[in-house]
Amino acid sequence: MKSYLQAILAIAHKDLAAEIRSRELVSAMLVFSLLVVLIFNFALDLDKSARENVAAGVLWVTFTFAGTLGLNRTFAAEKDRGSLDGLLLAPVDRTAIYFGKLISTLVFMLLVEAVVLPVFTVLYGISLFNILLFGVILLGTFGYGGVGTLLACMAAQTRTRDVMLPILLFPVTVPVMLGAVRASTGILANAEWGEILTWINILVVYDVIFVAVAVMVFDYLIEE
Amino acid sequence: MIEIHNLTKNFGMKPVLRGVNLTVERGEFVALMGPNGAGKTTLLRIVASLTRPTLGRVRVNSFDLPAHADSVRRVLGVVSHHTLLYGDLTAEENLRFYGQLYSVENLSKRIDDVLNQVGLSKRRHDLVRSFSRGMAQRLSIGRAVLHSPDVMLFDEPHTGLDQEASAMLDKLLKSVAAQGRSVLMISHDLPRSLQLADRVTILSHGKIAYDSPTKNLSLADFAKTYNELAQ
C-alpha cells in the first residue's frame, strides 16, 4: 500500500514539477478560459437578471473547455515523447498511474478556476464567492477530471487523439455538467436547499461511479 | 534469465512472430539482429511485458508472462531509443521519480552511485532537455539499472549517437553486462554486436534464423550470413 501511494504521489509530483518549469499547459488553459469568459461577456450583452440566469452555464462551459485542453495533453504528451512505456514498465498497479494523473489534472484545473472566478465576478457583476458554490465546483471538477483522465488515456491510443477526446468526453459528462450547472444556478439564485441538494447528490453519485469504473477498466485501456 | 518457447504474435491477421525459441542464460549477453520489420522490437516488448503474446511461453527469471508481469517488471531494466526521461526535470529528479516508482531503498545513495557510474554526477542538477543525445542515453541506462535489475533489454541503444558517445555507451554496456546480468540487445550494428555480445541471433520473417556464439565468429562470415538471411 505504501509503494502504491508513493507511486501515485511520484507521478503527480513529476507532472506538477514539469509544469512549473515549462508553464505550457496551465498558461494555455488560463488564457483560453479567460478568452471564453470575455467572449461570452461581449456576445451575451444581457441585462442583470438575464446574466444571473446564464452565469452558471457560462462558468461551467469555460471550466470544461479549459479542462479538455489540459486533459488532452495528460497522456498524449507521455505517448508523444515515448515516456508512457516508462510508466508501464514500473512494477506498480496501473491504477496508480490513473490516480497520479488525476491529481495533477485536478490541480491544473483548480488553479485555472481560482483565477477565472474573480475575473468572472468582475465582468458579470455576480459574486461567486460562496462556500457552497466552491463545494459544487470541487465536485464537478472532480467528476469531469475523473472521467476525462480515463477517456484521455483511451484517446491517447488513437491516431486522432486531439479530436477524439472531446467527442468521447462531452456526451459522457452530460450528467456531471447538468448537475453542476443546476446546483450552481440554484446557489446563485438562493434557491431552496432541497432543490440544490438533489443536484449535489447527482454529482456525488456520478463521481463515485465513474472513479469506480476507472479503477476497474484502466488496466485494460492503457495496455496496447 | 529469459526463456522464450514457441512465441507467436499476430497483429490482427498479420503474423509478426512465428514460433520464436530463444534463451538468454544468466550472465549472458545476446545480440538480436535482423532486417526492419523482422519482429525484433515486438519480441522485446513482449519480454518487457508491454505487449501480450498471442501464443507461446515467455519466462523471465522463472516468472511467466503475462501472468506475473509485476514480478517480471521488478527484475527488468529496459533501454530503448526513447530515453523514457522527462526533459523538464533534472537528471536527479528523473532518477528520483523512477526510484520512487520502483520503491528503491536508500534512494539518495543509489542515485549518487548511478550518476557516478554513468558519468553525470556534475550534471545532476541540469535539466535533461539541455543534455546531448549521448548524455541522455547514458542517463537512460542509469534509469534502467537504478533498481538493480537481473535482466536488461536494450532496443537499439546506439541510435543517434556519434562515435565518441557510442564508445562511451559500449563501455557502459560492458560494465552492465559484467555484473552478472542477462542482457538482450537489439542492434543493426554487426561489428559492435560481435564485440559486445556472447551470442548473436538473427530474426528473419518472424523466426530465429541463426544463432551462434561470437567466439571464433569472424565479421566477414557473420556479415555474409546476415545478408543472406536478411533478404
Band (pLDDT 50/70/90 cuts) for residue B174 is confident
Residue of A nearest to B76 (CA): A89
Predicted confidence at residue B167, as pLDDT, reads 82
With CB atoms and an 8 Å threshold, state whether B98 touches A86.
Answer: yes
What's the average model confidence in pLDDT over B57-61? 93
Residue of B nearest to A12 (CA): B97
> B19: Cβ–Cβ under 8 A, 6 or more apart, which residues?
B6, B7, B8, B56, B207
What's the average model confidence in pLDDT over A171-196? 91
pLDDT at B189 over 80: yes
CB pairs under 8 A between A and B: 71
- For B78, which of A11, A87, A89 is closest by C-beta distance? A89
With CB atoms and an 8 Å threshold, state whether B102 touches A85.
Answer: no
What's the average model confidence in pLDDT over A155-164? 84
At B18, give phi and psi (nearest 5°). -125, 80
What's the average model confidence in pLDDT over B204-221? 89
Residues of A in contact with B50 (CB under 8 A): 85, 88-89, 224
**B224–chain A nearest CA distance, Å:** 35
Closest to B151 (Cα-Cα) out of B117, B185, B101: B185
pLDDT at B151 over 90: yes
Please tell me which of A123-127, A217-221, B85-89, B154-158 the model is most confident about, judged by mean pLDDT: B85-89
What would the pLDDT profile of A81-123 be if each residue is shown by its tens digit?
888 999 999 999 999 999 999 999 999 999 999 999 999 998 8
Q: Is A219 touching B (CB cutoff 8 A)?
A: no
Q: What is the pTM of this model?
A: 0.90
**A193–chain B nearest CA distance, Å:** 45
Residues of B in contact with A13 (CB under 8 A): 97
Compare A156 and A106 and report the one with higher pLDDT: A106
Residue of A nearest to B96 (CA): A10
Predicted confidence at residue B181, as pLDDT, reads 87
Which residue is it, cell 507467436? B8
User: b/e string for B186-216 if b means 16 or more Cβ within 10 A?
Assistant: bbbbbebbbebbbbbbbbbebebbbeeebee
**B136–chain A nearest CA distance, Å:** 13
Predicted confidence at residue A46, as pLDDT, reads 67
Band (pLDDT 50/70/90 cuts) for residue B66 is confident
**B71–chain A nearest CA distance, Å:** 7
What's the average model confidence in pLDDT over B210-222? 88
What's the average model confidence in pLDDT over A25-32? 93
Q: How far is CA B32 from CA A4, B135, B165, B186, in A?
A: 35, 24, 21, 5
Asked if the peptide bond before residue B66 counts as cis, ω within 30 degrees of 0, the response is yes
With CB atoms and an 8 Å threshold, state whether B103 touches A86.
Answer: no
Please tell me which of A184-193, B7-16, B103-112 the model is most confident about, judged by mean pLDDT: B103-112
Q: Which stretch of DSSP H or E encloses residue B64?
A: strand B63-65
Contact assessment for residue B2 and residue B22, using Cβ atoms and an 8 Å cutoff: yes
Predicted-complex ipTM score: 0.89
Tell me the DSSP string of A146-165. HHHHHHHHHHHTSTTHHHHH
Predicted confidence at residue B128, as pLDDT, reads 94
Q: Is A39 touching B (CB cutoff 8 A)?
A: no
Mean pLDDT score across all residues of chain B: 90
pLDDT at B74 over 90: yes
Beta bridge partners of B59: B3, B64
pLDDT at A196 over 70: yes
- For B101, which of A10, A82, A224 is closest by C-beta distance? A10
- For B74, which of A21, A88, A91 is closest by C-beta distance? A91
Residue of A nearest to B51 (CA): A224
Q: How many angstroms separate the CA atoms of A179 and A204, rounded?
A: 9
Q: Fill in the amino acid letter for A39.
A: I
Beta carbons within 10 angstroms of residue A178's beta carbon: 15
Q: Is the dihedral of CA A141, A146, A150, A151 positive or negative?
A: negative
With CB atoms and an 8 Å threshold, state whether A88 touches B74.
Answer: no
Q: Which A residues, 89 through 118, put their C-beta within 8 Å of a C-beta on chain B?
A: 89-92
Q: How many angstroms separate the CA atoms of A192 and A198, rounded?
A: 10
Q: Which stretch of DSSP H or E encloses residue B57?
A: strand B55-60
With CB atoms and an 8 Å threshold, state whether B84 touches A86.
Answer: yes
pLDDT at A66 over 70: yes
Mean pLDDT score across all residues of chain A: 90
Q: Fill in the amino acid letter for A7.
A: A
Q: Is B219 touching A (CB cutoff 8 A)?
A: no
Beta-strand relationship, B182-186 and B2-11: unpaired
What's the average model confidence in pLDDT over B128-154? 91
What's the average model confidence in pLDDT over A1-25? 91
Predicted confidence at residue B71, as pLDDT, reads 92
Q: Is B66 touching A (CB cutoff 8 A)?
A: no
Residues of B in contact with A3 (CB under 8 A): 103
Asked which of A151-165, B32-46, B58-72, B161-175 is least confident by mean pLDDT, the reply is B161-175
pLDDT at B104 over 90: yes
Contact assessment for residue B47 and residue B122, using Cβ atoms and an 8 Å cutoff: no
Q: Rg of chain B over CA atoms, in angstroms? A: 18
Q: Collapsing DSSP states into helix, strand and coil, what is residue B207?
A: strand
Q: How many angstroms separate the CA atoms of B181 and B27, rounded?
A: 5
Asked which of A128-137, B95-104, B134-143, B168-177 is least confident by mean pLDDT, the reply is B168-177
Band (pLDDT 50/70/90 cuts) for residue A224 is low
Q: Which segments of B74-174 are extended strands (E)?
A: 76-79, 151-155
Q: Is A10 touching B (CB cutoff 8 A)?
A: yes
Predicted confidence at residue A19, as pLDDT, reads 92
**C-alpha dihedral (B128, B132, B136, B138), degrees to nearest 10:** -140
Predicted confidence at residue A159, as pLDDT, reads 81
Chain A interface mutation, best of B75, B103, B104, B159, highest count of A Cβ atoms under 10 Å: B103
With pLDDT > 90 as the criterion, what percentage of chain B qualifies? 55
Q: Is A48 touching B (CB cutoff 8 A)?
A: no
Q: How many angstroms separate the CA atoms of A84 and B140, rounded?
A: 14
Beta carbons within 10 angstroms of residue A81's beta carbon: 15
With CB atoms and an 8 Å threshold, state whether A3 touches B74.
Answer: no
